[in-house]
Amino acid sequence: MHTKHTLLLLLLVLFGVAVYSFAGAPGLNDIQAHRQALALFIESHYAFSVGVFFMLCVIFINSPLPLAAVMKILSGYFFGFYAGAAYNVGATLLACLIGFWLSRHAFRSRFEQLFYARLEAVEHEIERNGFYYFLGLRIVMVVPYFLINILAGLSRLSFKDYLLSTLFGVLPASLIYANGGEQLEQIRSTAELFDWHTVIALLLMATASLFPAWWQRRKRRSG
């Protein structure tokens, strides 16, 4: 059974890499060039388009392919800021929950062999303060989401803490990407969405989210 799961995972990764390598990923310029045709299709097949958006987000967020950010920008571009932000949050949350389930149940034995050694030293700390650590990781966006999903699934973090840390952690980026989508005509890459003001704000939010965990550790050591 584990062998079948491993082979399935390997095939999915290889398929994604092959498509990305040979077909190439559409850039923001490509999307802008075909905006009218895409907008007409989305208007005529709105529910289907939203479903495709959710499906692609689930795939890209749970893979190493660097396409999730582009998808989230396009949500604001085609659906508008408010709907785009809501779809970003919903799709990202769904993708992270699926990634968490795959790590904790479907591929747990394989992922443990690959990643658990890195997690073992901080296992007890995550059990106590995992909500704050994973919240900070989501906000600052330094660690890819698919790795966070895997590590959270392997840890002792409760499902409730994972759900809440993910929900609150993805909100800032989801709003930034949706807002960037509305301004897509003025930007050339995703990097332009994160000027130094935005980066500092995200770092401050991530630092604030880690403060309760730091305070609890300080109290235990002083006690």
Task: Report the distance separating Cα 71 and Cα 20, nearest Å.
Answer: 15
What local confidence, expressed as pLDDT, does residue 1 receive?
Answer: 46
Of 32-46, 97-111, 179-193, the range with the lowest mean pLDDT is: 179-193
Query: Of the ranges 18-32, 34-48, 189-203, which one carries the lowest mean pLDDT score?
Result: 18-32
3-state helix, strand, coil in the chain (%, to 5): 85, 0, 15
Is there a domain that residue 169 lies in?
Answer: yes
| Residue 29 clears pLDDT 50, i.e. is over it | yes
What crossing angle do the helices spanning 145-154 and 123-140 adopt, rounded to 10°?
A: 160
Is residue 14 domain-resident? Answer: no
Q: Who contacts 54 (Cβ-Cβ below 8 Å, separation ≥6)?
A: 87, 90, 91, 94
19 DSSP 8-state letter: I
Cβ pair 143, 137 in contact under 8 A = yes
- Lowest pLDDT segment from 1-5, 37-41, 97-101, 109-113: 1-5
The answer to whether residue 4 is domain-embedded is no
User: For tokens 């906000």, what's the residue?
Assistant: 139
Contact predicate 143/58, CB 8 Å: no
CA-derived radius of gyration, the chain? 19
171 Cβ contact list (under 8 Å, min separation 6): 89
Our count of domains for the chain comes to: 1
Residue 20 falls inside a structural domain: no
Amino acid residing at 156 = R
Q: Please check whether residue 180 lies inside any domain of the structure.
A: yes
Per the model's pLDDT, the better-predicted residue between 12 and 154 turns out to be: 154
**Domain assignment of residue 103, yes or no:** yes
Q: Within 10 A of 65 (CB to CB), how many other CB atoms are there?
A: 16
Query: What's the pLDDT at 195?
Result: 63
What is the extent of the structural domain holding 74?
Answer: 28-222
Pairwise CA distance, residues 160 & 168, whole Å: 12
Per the domain annotation, does 203 fall within a domain? yes
Tokens of residue 91, six digits: 């799709």
Q: Look up residue 141 and give its two tokens.
A: 């966006």
In this structure, is residue 5 part of a structural domain?
A: no
pLDDT at 163 over 90: yes
Residue 11 has pLDDT above 70, yes or no: no
